[in-house]
């Protein structure tokens, strides 16, 4: 899951002032690589699990383009590092970050190149291009979707088979499934609310499928509120968490990955990003993942999928042609396939599939475009949605939670 940060007004002002300045200088910008005559491209990407895969792709690119040297930067807190570089006029030539409010802030500050007419956009799914437009609030395109992720219910296939369970298609079937597992003396879900962000995956799915059409647009225009449209999602989250272990606030994300891998629960409320960690704890586990059946109308139940990795170019790069060549290389179907295989994610590039059998249940939703973005991609981080959800789960006060959501949204808007 992409966990972004909202840039404060002061940083946005700094970005605006610096957006017209050259982003490269002798202290860390692009230039000749060690006097070799090669063009040097700075490439910042934010996913630590993608570093090795990008290293391999960069080596392949440099072999085909010996006059270009790509330097990968993958700092620990990449979103903060990216904004600091942007604010100081040192934006890397090529950026691979998430489709979230950090991207929106960069777009609004004018530091990214406009890629609206880039022919490479024809290679990617229109669904994810639209998601980036919705996030940035712009009808222009400043990043090309690359890797995409998915949020759902991970389940233990062996236990499903042993207990004669089937994947639910509706909310009522989902709750009946949880009760059947519970009645059999097993734990339906293992939760990890010690890490506040882990309260968000289930809520993202429940809200996205129940909040009504065009909620983000109507909400930004002041035509609706969380109170009027998020009660169903909040009620259903509280119902779902009753099927977890008693000490759900005493366990963190890593604890839950290991517990699920050991078979301590039949299901796990996470996303595809957890699969690799689960398999590290139990390489032989056979698992799958299905979208949350958030409503009793299967046609309204969306797969929650967002832009996990997008490719942008600095508006002030000294090497736009080389930067575009690197982006085009990454978007080549063969290279995009290598990326999704290495990072265990999905691709926004048309025709590039993820062949891991553990995610096969999600394929029909991608094929039909029955997809919605993560709710928290549209929520300013200074609202602290994760903490509000923790409070909701502990206090079970839905009305208070919804009021807090509306109040915190108003505060976040007033800070812009």
Q: For the residues 310-320, what does the mean pLDDT come to?
A: 97
> Is there a contact between 137 and 221 (Cβ–Cβ < 8 Å)?
no
Write the pLDDT tens digit of every residue in 59-113: 999 999 999 999 999 988 888 889 889 888 999 999 999 998 889 889 999 999 9
**Domain boundaries along the sequence of the chain:** 9-149+306-372, 152-304+380-414
Rounded CA separation 405/84 (Å): 29
Taking alpha carbons only, the member of 6, 112, 92 closest to residue 46 is: 92
Global pTM reads 0.79
What CA–CA distance (Å, rounded) separates 85 from 45?
Answer: 13
CB atoms within 10 A of CB 232: 18
The better pLDDT of the pair 382, 176 is held by: 176
| Cβ burial 309-338 (10 Å sphere, 16+ → b, else e) | bbbbbbbbbbbeebbbbbbbbbbbeebbbb
Rounded to an integer, what distance in angstroms lies between the CA atom of residue 372 and that of residue 31?
A: 41
Give the contacts of 222 (CB within 8 A, at least 6 positions apart): none
- CATH of 152-304+380-414 among 3.30.70.260, 2.40.30.10, 3.40.190.10, 3.20.20.140: 3.40.190.10
Distance of alpha carbon 7 from alpha carbon 370, whole angstroms: 31
The one-character DSSP state at 214 is T
For residues 8-41, one letter each, b for 16 or more C-beta atoms within 10 angstroms of the residue's C-beta and e for the rest, the string is eeebbebbeebbeeebbeeeebbbebeeeebbbb
pLDDT confidence tier of residue 276, bands split at 50, 70 and 90: confident
DSSP 3-state assignment of 152?
strand
* The pLDDT of residue 35: 58
State residue 57 phi and psi, 5-degree precision: -70, -40
The structural architecture, per CATH, of the domain 9-149+306-372 is 3-Layer(aba) Sandwich (3.40)
List 68's β-bridge partners, or say none: 39
Name the more confident of 35 and 274. Answer: 274
pLDDT for the residue 28 = 40
pLDDT at 217: 84
Distance (Å, rounded) from C-alpha 63 to C-alpha 75?
25
CA-CA distance, 209 to 316, in Å (whole number)? 40
Task: Encode pLDDT of 317-376 as tens digits.
Answer: 999 999 999 999 999 999 999 999 888 889 999 999 888 899 989 989 988 889 998 998
pLDDT digits over 180-214, tens only? 999 999 999 999 999 999 999 999 999 999 998 78
| pLDDT, position 367 | 83
DSSP annotation of 300 reads G
Predicted pLDDT of residue 236: 98
Q: Comparing 391 with 137, which gets the higher pLDDT?
A: 391
CB-CB neighbours of 206 under 10 Å: 25
Tokens standing for 283? 């390489």
Q: Tell me, what's the pLDDT at 343?
A: 86
- Can 9-149+306-372 and 152-304+380-414 be said to share one CATH topology? yes
- Site of tokens 């300013």: 380
């Amino acid at each position: 899951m992409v966990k972004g940060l909202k840039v404060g007004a002061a940083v946005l002002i700094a970005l605006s002032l610096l957006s017209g300045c050259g982003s490269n200088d002798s202290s860390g910008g692009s230039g000749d690589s060690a006097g070799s005559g090669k063009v040097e491209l700075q490439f910042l990407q934010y996913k630590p699990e993608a570093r090795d895969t990008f290293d391999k792709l960069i080596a392949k690119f440099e072999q085909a383009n010996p006059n270009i040297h790509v330097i990968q930067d993958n700092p620990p807190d990449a979103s903060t590092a990216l904004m600091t570089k942007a604010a100081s006029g040192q934006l890397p030539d090529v950026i691979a970050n998430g489709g979230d409010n950090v991207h929106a802030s960069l777009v609004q500050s004018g530091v990214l190149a406009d890629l609206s007419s880039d022919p490479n956009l024809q290679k990617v799914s229109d669904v994810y291009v639209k998601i980036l437009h919705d996030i940035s609030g712009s009808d222009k395109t400043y990043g090309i979707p690359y890797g995409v992720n998915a949020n759902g219910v991970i389940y233990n296939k062996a236990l499903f088979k042993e207990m004669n369970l089937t994947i639910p298609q509706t909310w009522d079937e989902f709750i009946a499934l949880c009760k059947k597992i519970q009645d059999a003396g097993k734990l339906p879900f293992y939760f990890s609310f010690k890490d506040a962000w882990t309260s968000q995956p289930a809520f993202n799915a429940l809200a996205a499928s129940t909040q009504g059409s065009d909620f983000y647009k109507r909400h930004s225009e002041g035509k609706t509120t969380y109170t009027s449209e998020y009660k169903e999602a909040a009620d259903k989250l509280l119902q779902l968490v009753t099927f977890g272990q008693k000490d759900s606030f005493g366990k963190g994300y890593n604890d839950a990955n290991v517990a699920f891998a050991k078979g301590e629960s039949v299901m796990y409320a996470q996303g595809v990003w957890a699969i690799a960690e689960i398999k590290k704890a139990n390489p032989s586990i056979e698992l799958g993942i299905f979208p949350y059946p958030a409503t009793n109308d299967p046609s309204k139940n969306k797969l929650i999928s967002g832009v996990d990795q997008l490719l942008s170019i600095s508006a002030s790069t000294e090497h736009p042609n080389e930067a575009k060549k690197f982006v085009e290389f990454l978007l080549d179907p063969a290279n995009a396939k290598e990326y999704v295989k290495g990072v265990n994610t999905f691709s926004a590039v048309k025709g590039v599939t993820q062949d891991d059998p553990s995610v096969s249940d999600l394929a029909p939703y991608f094929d039909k475009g029955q997809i919605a973005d993560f709710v928290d991609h549209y929520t300013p981080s200074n609202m602290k949605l994760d903490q509000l959800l923790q409070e909701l789960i502990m206090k079970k006060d839905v009305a208070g939670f919804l009021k807090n959501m509306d109040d915190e949204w108003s505060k976040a808007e007033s800070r812009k």
